[in-house]
Structure 1
Amino acid sequence: MELRQLRYFVEVVDAGGFTRAADRLHLAQPGLSAQIRQLERELGQPLLHRSGRSVSLTEVGQAVLPYARAALAAAEGVRQTVDEYTGLLRGRVAIGVVSGGTGELVDVPAVLADFHAAHPQVEISLIEDSSERMQAALPAGELDIALMGTADATPPAGVAFRTAVDQPLVAAVVPGDPLAQRARPAIPLTALRDRPLICLPRGSGVRTVLERACADAGFRPQVAFEAAAPQMLLRLAARGLGVAVLPAADEEDLGGGLRVLRIKQAGLRARVVLAWRSAGPENPAARALLERLLAALPEQ
């Protein structure tokens, strides 16, 4: 029995079939199938039920799978221990960034480029996704680090974070909008009832905060337009298509002659956090990248 055969077995199970597993492993499917059959011959029992392109575990396969995973984890632990003693980092780091970009907050490409130059043996995987999906991916081990929005001031179970942005939400309207005619540059949240709103998409921290606050106020927000990039929200509002609800910004930065109105509602805030699993990243490479990203965060 060889360690690579156990790795192939686990990959086939995780991928749900030989074709996808072969693609992930960059192997020819016949060769992968041959290795699994060789493992089964050595063990004297079939591990997988094969049905077309799908596979399922036999009873023996179900019993073997935890030990196969443990063996692979132990082998990786040996490698990581040696690497830590020699000062060499390698492995894989998966990082997620909220859709719409956070370039003004942290120059993620620059941090990744510097990290890659210092640790060329580390494979870096970067995805852009919704905050909601990334929050679920962290404790599941699908991501090591995420720069994401959150609707809560405290992290959920299994996640730790450091707050990078904590700003009130504001409304942006064209000068001729009825909301802009108020004497004071502030409105109650209920003033947005029955108004077409322009907001970040569902799954974002800002959208979740808005929907919660409106529900508490007794109405459902009528989101007519949504976009991941705040600048798109402002461009839509500048055309008079609705009220843009977004994190606070200086009025001169908005462009398009928009009027900024403070929303008088407790807890209506936009938060962006750098998050990781509460137990800490599992591999030294992820821990090293997390340290660099934490250092790059703006002071709060």
Structure 2
Amino acid sequence: MNLNYRHLYYFWVVAREGGFSKAANRLNMAVQTISAQVRELEASLGQQLLKPSGRGVVLSEAGQTAFRRAEEIFQLGSTLMEELAQVGVQSVLRFSLGLPDGVSKLAVHRLLEPVLKLPSLRLLCHEGEFDPLIGELAMHQLDAVIANQPAPANPNLRLFSQKIASSQIHWYGPEALLGGLPVQARAFPHCLRHLPILLPTTHTPLRHALDRWFESEQLPMHIAGEFEDSALMSLFAMQGMGVFPVSALGAEELRTMPGLICLGGTQLGEDLYLINTRRARQHPAVLSILKPKV
């Protein structure tokens, strides 16, 4: 059986748009034409792919499988067109990097400094949850992921994890907030009893470690905000919203933010891992991140 990719494309568009009418508008074709093409695809596969649902359609179980594969196929096709468009124009070095929620973007910026020096670099940063990003990496839709945990121990994924940074957690905040406390209440970490606190969201490893740290120090938490993005958290802190934790590596970037001071350090540490596939291990950007710092 030979797969008709034109029919598969029409099915893919219908599934993405949620119905034949919307797909017809997008493709500037008649509904009847698209419907006939999809029916031919179903006949050739011997499976019903779409089922009526109200004014639209939904995927059958077989349709879900076909749609996932179609997504991969046409994503690769799009990537191929982008890469071929650069042939003979200029040599562009693409580096697609996944950054899970909760990873210190300030620290990542520091780690990417050698990457930014590469000639003709095109950096694509994708943010999202850890598991979906790992899935994209395994399907070669990303070149690497920088995360605060290693890849899951699943031999089928064929991923490699390497620790690239480890630094202590420090607390920073607006000088005006600390200055508003009585002198005897400014000592760290007890000053946190009296200050509004900004934290990473609850699904991050760092947040779990911080929750345990507050409990061990017997400190109440007056949470004023929770953020997935550490850089955004620091901006809100600079505006006086509260104090916040940051890795020592990421704290280097805070020198450009006026009014923020270091309250103190903890024994907590944050590890960062570079996760990649065998195919991407020789990517110039990956090699530059892993290159020992002199």
Query: TM-score of the superposition, structure 1-length normalised?
Result: 0.58
Match of 1:137 among 124, 129, 133: 133
SS at match of 1:103: helix
On the 8 A contact 1:10/1:69 being kept in 2, the answer is no
Assess, with a 3 A threshold, how the Cα gap between structure 1 residues 171 and 46 changes in structure 2: closer, same or farther. closer
State the AA in 2 paired with 1:105.
L
State the AA in 1 paired with 2:135.
P
Assess, with a 3 A threshold, how the Cα gap between structure 1 residues 14 and 161 changes in structure 2: closer, same or farther. farther
Q: Which residue of 2 aligns with 1:8?
A: 9
2: CA distance, partners of 1:293 / 1:247: 23
The alpha carbon displacement at 1:4 in A equals 0.5
2: CA distance, partners of 1:236 / 1:181: 26
The alpha carbon displacement at 1:127 in A equals 4.9
2: CA distance, partners of 1:139 / 1:44: 29
How do 1:209-228 and structure 2 match up within 5 A?
Answer: 209-214=209-214, 221-226=221-226
1:243 aligns with 2:243: yes
State the AA in 1 paired with 2:265.
I
1:103 aligns with 2:112: no
Assess, with a 3 A threshold, how the Cα gap between structure 1 residues 107 and 238 changes in structure 2: closer, same or farther. closer
The alpha carbon displacement at 1:247 in A equals 1.6
Q: Which residue of 2 aligns with 1:56?
A: 59
The alpha carbon displacement at 1:171 in A equals 1.2
Assess, with a 3 A threshold, how the Cα gap between structure 1 residues 214 and 243 changes in structure 2: closer, same or farther. same
On the 8 A contact 1:251/1:258 being kept in 2, the answer is no
Matched residues, percent identical? 21
2: CA distance, partners of 1:212 / 1:243: 18
Assess, with a 3 A threshold, how the Cα gap between structure 1 residues 210 and 146 changes in structure 2: closer, same or farther. farther
On the 8 A contact 1:167/1:271 being kept in 2, the answer is yes
The alpha carbon displacement at 1:53 in A equals 1.4
RMSD of Structure 2 on Structure 1 (CA):
5.2
2: CA distance, partners of 1:223 / 1:137: 29
Structure 2 unpaired stretches of 5+:
81-93
Q: Which residue of 2 aligns with 1:272?
A: 272
On the 8 A contact 1:18/1:29 being kept in 2, the answer is no
Structure 1 unpaired stretches of 5+:
81-91, 117-123
On the 8 A contact 2:200/2:227 being kept in 1, the answer is yes
The alpha carbon displacement at 1:36 in A equals 1.4
Aligned length: 257
Q: Which residue of 1 aligns with 2:289?
A: 297
On the 8 A contact 1:97/1:128 being kept in 2, the answer is yes
1: CA distance, partners of 2:119 / 2:20: 33
Q: Which residue of 1 aligns with 2:170?
A: 170
Query: TM-score of the superposition, structure 2-length normalised?
Result: 0.59
Deviation digits for residues 194-225 of structure 1 (CA, Å, limit 9, x no counterpart): 63113445555544442353356566643313
